Amino acid sequence: AETGRRILAATQQLFLEAPMHEITLQGVAERAGVALQTVLRRFGSRSGLIVAATSDATARVSAQRDRAPVGDPAGAVENLFDHYEEWADVSLKILAEEPRSEEVAALARDGRALHVAWVERVFAPQIRARRGRARLELRCQLVAVCDVHVWKLLRRDQGLSRAAAEKAVLGIVQALCNQGVS
């Protein structure tokens, strides 16, 4: 089991360092400290390895995001920042590589679906409190403000501390959720 985890971790690390099409089984084996045959025995092919590595990462991301409390904007934003502090580089790399690789484009589509589902789940009470077009608008606004690009803009581009960036996003989320509510 440990060998399998090392191989998956090596694949995920290499993805951050090089385009998906440059990841080779030999490179993964070297990074994981195992023989090429070990990688092939465990995963069958490069495609099998990529599927296993992305499934592993997706499961970990889903588990982390599933811990967000429902109906609690502060808890949701804290969960979101926990996620981005760990996974933003991967998310941004996926989005940058999306146009060049169908494998990566599929990851991007899955990531977007996971993000929308997360917003719909954690902000369900706030979204349900709206009617008609206002419901859809709030959902779309929350999807946008909770996007990895907003995290990047605040943390990396503007140089805000995590606490300051989190406070900024929470302020926007609360303003959106309270807008029109009396």
Are 71 and 124 spatial neighbours (Cβ–Cβ below 8 Å)? yes
Q: What is the mean pLDDT of the chain?
A: 94
Q: What is the mean pLDDT of residues 26-47?
A: 95
**182 pLDDT exceeds 60?**
no
CA end-to-end distance (rounded Å), the chain: 55
Residues of the chain with pLDDT > 70, as a percent, come to 98
Q: What is the mean pLDDT of residues 64-76?
A: 97
Q: What is the mean pLDDT of residues 126-138?
A: 96
Poorest-confidence range of 99-113, 129-143, 160-174?
99-113
Residues of the chain with pLDDT > 90, as a percent, come to 89
**181 pLDDT exceeds 80?**
no
* Residue 35, token pair as written in the block: 């023989």
**97 pLDDT exceeds 60?**
yes
Q: What is the mean pLDDT of residues 160-167?
A: 98
pLDDT greater at residue 171 or residue 20: 171
Coil, strand or helix at 113: helix
Tell me how crowded residue 141 is: count the other CB atoms within 10 A of its CB. Answer: 18
Q: In the structure, what pLDDT confidence band is assigned to residue 103 with cuts at 50, 70 and 90?
A: confident
Q: In the structure, what pLDDT confidence band is assigned to residue 9 with cuts at 50, 70 and 90?
A: very high
Segment (H or E) for 94: helix 73-97
Coil, strand or helix at 34: coil
**38 pLDDT exceeds 90?**
yes
> d(Cα 39, Cα 130) in Å, to the nearest integer?
51
* Residue 173, token pair as written in the block: 């989320």
Write the CB contacts of 137 (distance below 8 Å, at least 6 apart in sequence): 130
> d(Cα 104, Cα 171) in Å, to the nearest integer?
33
* Residue 19, token pair as written in the block: 């385009």
Report CA-CA distances (Å) from 4 to 28, 38, 39, 59, 138: 11, 9, 8, 15, 42
One-letter identity of residue 163: A
